[in-house]
Amino acid sequence: FPTKTRTIFNSAPKRAIPVITMETQTTQIDGAFPRLNASLLRQGGFTDRLASFVGRFEDKTTFRCCDGGTITLTDEQYEADTLPKDMVVEIMGQTVEPDGLTPFIVRELSQDTDLALYNNMIEIQHNPKFAKFFKQL
């Protein structure tokens, strides 16, 4: 994919280091994916990307995110009686328009994760005012 270069000077010989910027990034960086809530997914801009959500299963097709909104799970790979409904989980998968997710991984976190605090972190992370502290993916 296209890159911009920036020359870095130090005691070593000059060399150009490729720098990936939001303008030149055309594909998702391997191993990097945004943490989202239901509201951010509905706002758009994250379709067909890997993403992470934290919340609780309501049933095998509905996931309640940390902001209280719900997303639809498009692959019913879970048995209803095996879902950890009392457990806060992180679910990672491929986003689908307008509010769907095809899950790949579900990781149990705890029963008492502070979802309001986690949602505050998500909102700060995606706020342009704090962009210098968080790499936008």
Which helix (H) or strand (E) segment is 40 a member of? Answer: helix 38-43
Q: Specify the pTM.
A: 0.74
CA 117 from centre of chain? 16
CATH architecture of 29-130: Beta Barrel (2.40)
For the chain, which residues make up each domain, given as ranges?
29-130
Length of the chain: 137
Tell which residue, 92, 5, 8, has the closest CA to residue 49. 92
Location of structure tokens 């959500």: 53
pLDDT by 10s per residue, the chain, length 137: 444 443 344 444 444 444 444 444 455 556 678 999 999 999 988 889 999 999 999 988 899 999 999 999 987 666 666 777 789 999 999 999 889 999 988 889 999 999 999 999 999 999 999 988 887 65
